[in-house]
A and B are shown apart, each in its own frame.
Chain A
Amino acid sequence: MATKTVEFGVGPGREMGPGGVGTPSPLAPFDIPEPDIGTERMLINIGPQHPATHGVLRLVCELDGETVTEVTPHIGYLHSSFEKLGEYRTWNQIVPLTDRMDYLAPLIYNCAYVMSVEKLMGIEVTERCKVVRVILMELDRIFGHLLWLGTTAIDVGAFTPFLYSFQQREKIYGLHEALTGARITTSATRVGGMMADLPDGWLDQLLDFLDNFPKTLAEVHRLLTGNQIHIGRTQGVGAISADDAINYGFTGPNLRAAGVPYDVRKDRPYYDYETYDFEVPVGEHGDCYDRYLCRMEEMRQSVRILHQAMARLPGGPINVEDPNISLPSKTDAMSDMESMIHHFKLITEGIPAPEGDCYMAIEASKGELGMYVVAEEGGTKPVRWRVRPPSFVNLSVIPKLAEGHLVSDLIMINASLDIVLGEIDR
């Protein structure tokens, strides 16, 4: 068998351990045997630049004809070391980093991060802030699911839902922009509250969106749910059992589609979610069609939650009224010496944290998002900021799901998992 010399890369017999005597340097050339291309298998490479991978994901598939016998996902093509950057930023300075991880539902990440820090520090936010954050998280759940809907439909070949969902997303962009000034990278939350309260007319704009959105959703439902082509592409594709789903770490709509009724909002509730009246859709078969149905229904349930949240929105301050945590108002800082000192300390130093760690799990649009912060006594920056990305664990199941399916089914499975590479690679 012919051999070829490879300069960089892995091969049999190469240890990837932390090192020691006898471990060959990765830079030394070594020989690997060329494959014997007389077999029935074919290797194709999908990505990392590919329209249907939903980001820079590389899937190396081994095919037997059109059937996938093995698929290996490779990630890391968007690794931006958020977690390392977080160690060099104060607590509030990390909030803009959280937008850029899951850029499809940035407010959820903003909220999740500050919720974790507030829990670590023992800060209880105001009632108004809780309800506003629930509103923003549910709004961004719809936001994220809409993009999933549009791009998944395109992967199946249906272009119209893409345009419809983006039209609805433009309305949410308008809401983001009215609140924070930015369409995607919102950075709306701060430790102890929000960057700003809801502006006048924002709730009316939201109500306007909520009045029109269900009609568009119904239209897409008419286009896709009973559509025989869509059903043929998604039913029975990428099925997983409930046990396997839990063991493989599935969370979110993927897990619920497999029949496990685990929703962090119901099972480990936060921000009074137990007092909201909503249902969590649970599927049966765990295939792509069930995931589609779960997400569609989740959007409708989010509309319900939004209506209830808007009805119960209390008045009062949006930020915790503690000058050691929240910035004082500009007029105070400019006129009152004490406020100016608080402002100075908060900006230059930050908020000191107690020693300990906190893992805050919330239900993001993609699954269970965990924000884990570790702090040392008096630390104004985290020792470790870890994001438990739902898509990272969801994607690791693809080799199991896609085995035995066709290549086009692989694309459908990948789309139905609703992954975002920004949070996978961080």
Chain B
Amino acid sequence: MGLGDKLPGGGSSKTTGGIFGPGSPTFLTSKIDAIVNWGRLNSLWPMPFGTACCAIEMMASAASNYDLARFGMERMSFSPRQADVLICAGRVPYKLAPVLRRIWDQMPQPKWAISMGACASSGGVFDVYSMVQGIDTIIPVDVYIPGCPPRPEGLIYGLMMIQEKIRQESLTRHFEHRAEDPATVARPRANEEEVVGLTGPFGNSTQQDALSTGASPRTDEEAPTDPLLG
């Protein structure tokens, strides 16, 4: 199944293949790959999932000074159904996480994700109760762009990295490239024990402590007695 199998030399079921054995690219498939990839990477339609300050830098990249249009990306697709690359620009709180996940799920293959900025990549300055510590706990990310916010040149560099990634894709290995393991979909990526161990309250940070001003000592040190928790 898939295009790769239908092409001469492609697909693992064929006995004939390229010089590296069955299933490897041949001259014809590599040319088709090149054309298809060239078409894809030069007309990416970004899905701007902009939340905060990074979104403003993303808008500045699309404006006339930095001009994403020269990459073929001026058509920002706000509908995920027609988008290729999701640019998550800005911090994502837990309230917004299911929305991001849903938008990602609504994007058809082939799709890529860019995590723009420190907050999307790792939570940034916001190691707090409400903030997702990196959207790669929610969706699979292809390129991370550091910065707070990254300059438009940084975003453009990240988009060029996506283009490079696309350039190296191959139709014969399409499903390998695109597979999303259903077991890890919509679940935290790290092992649960690791995550719990690393992120207990006041876990491993040198900065945080239980007292905010030093003048109001805590009385409640044990498990919360909040009535909402039952």
Say if the two chains contact directly (CB < 8 Å): yes
Inter-chain contact A167/B126, CB cutoff 8 Å: no
Complex alpha-carbon distance, A163 and B207, angstroms: 43
Which A-chain residue is minimally distant from B119 (CB atoms)?
Answer: A80
Inter-chain contact A382/B64, CB cutoff 8 Å: no
Q: Could you say which residues of chain A place their CB within 8 Å of the CB of B226?
A: 19
Inter-chain contact B128/A167, CB cutoff 8 Å: no
Inter-chain contact A26/B228, CB cutoff 8 Å: yes
Known: A77-B95, A166-B60, A166-B64. A18 touches B130 (CB 8 A): no
Complex alpha-carbon distance, A76 and B93, angstroms: 8
Known: A80-B131, A100-B53. A163 touches B78 (CB 8 A): no
Contact with A along B79-104 (1 / 0, CB 8 A): 00000000000110101100100010
The yes or no answer to B227 lying at the interface (CB within 8 A) is yes
Inter-chain contact B63/A167, CB cutoff 8 Å: yes
Stretch at the interface among A50-58, A203-211, A220-228, A243-251: A50-58
Stretch at the interface among A62-70, A83-91, A193-201, A314-322: A83-91
The yes or no answer to B46 lying at the interface (CB within 8 A) is no
Q: Identify which of residues 6-58 in chain B touch chain A, using a CB-to-CB cut-off of 8 Å.
A: 48-49, 51-53, 55-57
Complex alpha-carbon distance, A97 and B53, angstroms: 12
Q: Could you say which residues of chain A place their CB within 8 Å of the CB of B128?
A: 80-81, 84-85
Stretch at the interface among A255-263, A279-287, A331-339, A373-381: A373-381
The yes or no answer to B200 lying at the interface (CB within 8 A) is no
Q: Which of B60, B149, B213, B215 counts the most A-chain CB atoms under 10 A from its CB?
A: B213
Inter-chain contact B212/A383, CB cutoff 8 Å: yes
B85–chain A nearest beta-carbon distance, Å? 15
Inter-chain contact A78/B93, CB cutoff 8 Å: yes
Which B-chain residue is minimally distant from A377 (CB atoms)?
Answer: B215
Known: A23-B227, A48-B99, A170-B60. A383 touches B213 (CB 8 A): yes
Interface of A is mostly: loop
Inter-chain contact A183/B63, CB cutoff 8 Å: no
Number of A-B pairs, beta carbon distance below 8 Å: 126
Interface range on chain A (Cβ under 8 Å from partner): 35 or more
Complex alpha-carbon distance, A167 and B52, angstroms: 20
Complex alpha-carbon distance, A80 and B95, angstroms: 11
Complex alpha-carbon distance, A75 and B93, angstroms: 12
Known: A167-B63, A383-B213. A19 touches B227 (CB 8 A): yes
Q: Identify which of residues 194-230 in chain B touch chain A, using a CB-to-CB cut-off of 8 Å.
A: 207-209, 212-216, 226-228, 230
Complex alpha-carbon distance, A78 and B94, angstroms: 9
Known: A49-B99, A170-B65. A184 touches B56 (CB 8 A): yes
Which B-chain residue is minimally distant from A99 (CB atoms)?
Answer: B53
The yes or no answer to A169 lying at the interface (CB within 8 A) is yes
Q: Which of A79, A147, A378, A381 counts the most B-chain CB atoms under 10 A from its CB?
A: A79
Known: A23-B227, A49-B49. A383 touches B56 (CB 8 A): no
Contact with B along A340-352 (1 / 0, CB 8 A): 0000000000000
Give the interface of A toward B (CB within 8 A): 18-20, 23, 25-27, 48-51, 55-56, 76-81, 84-85, 87-88, 96-97, 99-100, 103-104, 147, 162-163, 166-167, 169-170, 173, 183-185, 375-383, 421-422, 425
In the complex, the 8 A-B pairs of residues with the closest C-beta atoms, listed nearest first = A19-B227, A166-B63, A103-B53, A87-B212, A81-B128, A77-B96, A379-B213, A376-B215
